[in-house]
Structure 1
Amino acid sequence: MRIVTDPLALRDAISPETTVGFVPTMGYLHEGHLSLVEAAKQENDLVVMSIFVNPTQFGPNEDLDRYPRDFDRDEALAREAGVDILFYPDTTTMYPLDMARVTVRTGADVLCGASRPGHFDGVLTVVSKLFNIVRPTRAYFGLKDAQQVALIEGYVHDYFVPVEIRRCPIIREASGLAKSSRNVYLSESERIEAAEINKALTEAETGLQTGVAVTAVKARLIERLDAIPNSTIDYVEIVDYPTLTEAHDTSQELLIAAAVQFERARLIDNVIWKRG
């Protein structure tokens, strides 16, 4: 595995004839990230992973400074997983002038974006930069951040970016808790309690499958999540996917999503339900 910090050196390391699978991350790798690497290996000649904690997607009083970082650990995991090139830039490299950024026009004011203004502008800005640097054939994103995936797909479509976006399933712990770099901040008791998030989402999915109205499913989901000890609900939403617009009982695909705040960790999770 080759570690590269300079964008021009990265371009020089990739042959134009090579198919490239790209896995962008903010590091502190877990099984979810490594499952993206495995998917990329199956479809491409070369796998590039980036590790960059992007400051422009963190708002005031968010956890940028304490976001978990351990490059030596990540390097070992990436090497073992079969990553060919690990791109590890610093902030000055990624934002040399910071004169222009991507602005999201629709889909950013719901779900995570409702309480994190500007967050997805930062996400799409750094994704745009990374796509321009890596020039991947395919890019791999986990559906745990389903809103992010939908907005990246919209950006690629709107800007005619020549990359295929691959949606990859959520990787979970045995309890059902979605794998996340922020799980490290949970206490042992909170890990047990946080597993209820997925159980509640699965129950909501079952409700839709059995014909329960969207409004009734959402009300029950709020009730279930509100009962989790030592936590508060950030949001509970059921929206059309991938448009992220208002859900209707005739929607063909729905995103059932929630964010729950524990003492030191804000956890997100979701289920995507397809009619029929």
Structure 2
Amino acid sequence: MTNIEKGTRGEKIAKKLLSENGIDFRDNSMGIGPDFFVKNGPIIDAKYASKRIVTSKYKEKVHKNVIWSFNFHHHGKVQDVDFFFCILEIDRETLRYFIIPQSLTPRATLSISENQLEQGTYNRYENNFSQIKEWSNQPVNLKKERGNGMKKIINGLRYDTSNAIEVGSYDHGCYPGSGDFSHWSATLYKTPRSGRFFLHGKGGGMTRFAEHYADGMRGGGEKIQPMENDEALEWAEQYLDADCIEEHFSDLIKEA
């Protein structure tokens, strides 16, 4: 955490911290498009959010949640960048910084809740400037993966992330000592016509998204998993904010 003056812009904060961490970049924060182009490295866009309190009513109880919301779109499309430098204003004196890969935010928005901060959901991305430096050394060109959705037909029904309605996303992180085997990230979607829920996620060999091989081994995988309404609501209650649940499950909540 860092003390700041009220009114400091996100682009200026990100520019200062990138320079302090020895990252060589071209500054485009006053131009059109992404804010920073790292030399022989990733493209970064800075985002700043103040906290807001959202309330919802569920099972006769009023719930209050503190969240920070970020919009990653430009003219309706997700920006073609590699990292979002997300700056959270905790209070008038304190900021926290999270450098989040674009691959974890396939849609146009991200909400980080106070509960997620307390649980350490995004700990691996806080002040993680090393991942920017390591990006250029990746054996696979990550830019080729940007914008890739997933489409699958299951039991005669088409599930397509490119035209589905996003309900919310969650990044689980890893269990201590497990490497990336327990890491997973997923987005809950709803089909535009029938309103069927489905989960699209990627994860390691210890997760629900693991691939199973003929020799009995398990490895990381990517899957689309259809969900019944009550199953989707249960997943949302566990991983998403109350405002997301209220928006997409209002009919189910009223019936409960």
Which TM-score tier does this pair reach, normalised by the shorter chain? under 0.3
The answer to which structure has the higher helix fraction is 1
TM-score (norm 1): 0.26
Q: Which has the higher contact order (CA 8 A, sep 6+)?
A: 1
The answer to which structure has the higher strand fraction is 2
